[in-house]
Amino acid sequence: MAAPIDFYFDFSSPPGYFASLKIDELAARHGRSVNWRPILLGAIFKVTGQAPLPGIPLKGAYVQRDWVRFGRLLGVNFTLPAQFPFLSVASSRAFYWLHGRDPQLARNFARAVYHAAFADAKDTVPAEAVAGIAERLGVARAETLAALNDAGVKDKLRQEVDAAIARGVFGSPYIIVDNEPFWGADRLDQVERWLATGGW
Amino acid sequence: MAAPIDFYFDFSSPPGYFASLKIDELAARHGRSVNWRPILLGAIFKVTGQAPLPGIPLKGAYVQRDWVRFGRLLGVNFTLPAQFPFLSVASSRAFYWLHGRDPQLARNFARAVYHAAFADAKDTVPAEAVAGIAERLGVARAETLAALNDAGVKDKLRQEVDAAIARGVFGSPYIIVDNEPFWGADRLDQVERWLATGGW
């Protein structure tokens, strides 16, 4: 089987959410699996000097319209939560902690976090909210809350974000296929074509 | 016939160049004509606080790779000129001046400027270069050079850029179909679908 593709995303990124709904099936059509890798755009923007989209004059209004339109086109539920942009540190820490126990559980958790944030427009920022999502997947609430404060768990996320930056990741979603990078939910067609053809 | 669509672009924008090669045929397939409207991203970025892409850490390297790959996918010639980003003030002024004389001539001029910059990787910044492009379309060199220093011509471009900003234009290409805005050469398929269906 060919190498997995890397799927970098921020839990607070609508295009990352859109891609999360498509990427596994897309990869499977070409015999590939997917490494899901949450990142923190806030940390990355300190390197690139970028700012969260909603606050950018003109562009901020446009992208929010574009996301809603893109979601309708994809046929997926999409609503921004009341607080946006929001912090995705707790859900990202929980993801890597769960990944160490069970990669499939971590992926289910990631899907549940994205669904809560952008289909149900719920607040996924507090540790209690993240622990509640994990609890519905069978993880004891107290264990998740403890993990979110664990120094090793915090370090793991930092290392993952640093490694992503070292690979050039600057946005969400950012998908790497055999060292070829694609940025944006609007590059999924190109990802699929790259997988099908080996490049052009 | 339905209303024309508005095609805003910067002469120094590779995605604007890509869109310029597709937009007229795309619109014609749906019984539409296209208003070509050069803008100046430099002036717009003063409003939005954005910066030219090539200088942005990580993202700058990615987008240059993405443009080359996108051009290959579209099957068009694409090479960045040695000086990039570059100023598009003179070509934009010349466009609106020519448009006042003959809109079709202005469009042919725009195509020739884009071709010079991104297919032939030539320098299109100096007034002499712009006058040379117009000359090959039958416009006397001295007339173009005089127009480029005309206060009325300068004002016209300023007014067009201000009007674009007032409509929310923040990037290139930026295409408006019946008040629905689409940003990016990677939104052309959505533009086409919007024209075909009236929206979704």
SS3 content of chain A, % helix, strand, coil (to 5): 60, 10, 35
Q: Mind telling me how many Å the CA of A132 is from chain B's nearest CA?
A: 35
Residue A62 at interface with chain B, using a CB cutoff of 8 Å: yes
- Give the closest-approach CA distance of B142 to chain A in angstroms: 39
- Compute the mean pLDDT over every residue in chain B, rounded to the nearest whole number: 97
Tell me, yes or no, if B146 comes closer than 8 A to chain A by beta carbon: no
**With the CA atoms of A41, A65, B54 and A92 taken in that order, what torsion angle do they form, in degrees rounded to the nearest 10?**
10
**In 3D, which of A134, A138, A156, A120 has the Cα closest to residue A38?**
A156
Give the pair of three-digit tokens for residue A53. 């989209």
Whole-number Å distance between alpha carbons of B199 and B194: 5
* Whether B58 and A187 lie within 8 Å, measured CB to CB: no
Q: Give the SS3 label for residue A93.
A: helix
The reply to whether A191 touches chain B by the CB within 8 Å rule is no
This complex has an ipTM of 0.94
Residues 6+ apart with CB under 8 A from B159: none
pLDDT at residue number A24: 98
Q: Which tokens go with B188?
A: 């052309």
Tell me the count of A-B CB pairs closer than 8 A: 71
Does A66 sit within 8 Å of B57, measured CB to CB? no
B181 bridge partner residues: B176
Contact criterion met (CB below 8 Å) for B85 and B12: yes
For residues B200 and B190, give the distance between their C-alpha atoms in angstroms, rounded to a whole number.
10
Residues of B in contact with A183 (CB under 8 A): 62, 66
pLDDT at A1 over 70: no
pLDDT, mean of residues A144-170: 98
Report chain A residues whose CB lies below 8 A from the CB of B170: 56-59, 62
Chain A positions touching B183 (Cβ under 8 A) are 62, 66
User: Which residue matches tokens 């604007």?
Assistant: B16
Distance CA B80, CA B15 (A): 12
Q: Does B101 touch chain A (CB under 8 A)?
A: no
Of B59, B181, B190, the CB nearest to A62: B181
Q: pLDDT tens digit string along A5-56?
A: 999 999 999 999 999 999 999 999 999 999 999 999 999 999 999 999 999 9
pLDDT value of residue B2: 87
pLDDT tens track for A84-128 = 999 999 999 999 999 999 999 999 999 999 999 999 999 999 999
pLDDT of residue B146: 98
Cβ pair A59:B73 closer than 8 A: no
Q: How far is CA A21 from CA A18, A32, B83, B158, B185, in A?
A: 5, 16, 41, 44, 24
Q: Are A127 and A134 in contact (CB under 8 A)?
A: no
With cut-offs at 50, 70 and 90, classify the pLDDT of residue B1. low
Which residues have CB under 8 Å from A65's CB, separation 6+? B181
Largest CA distance in chain B: 50
B73·A193 Cβ contact <8 A: yes
Cβ of residue A52 closer than 8 Å to a chain B Cβ: no
pLDDT one-digit tens code per residue, B118-165: 999 999 999 999 999 999 999 999 999 999 999 999 999 999 999 999
- Find out whether A63 and A33 touch, Cβ atoms under 8 Å: no
Whether the full predicted model's pTM is greater than 0.90, yes or no, is yes
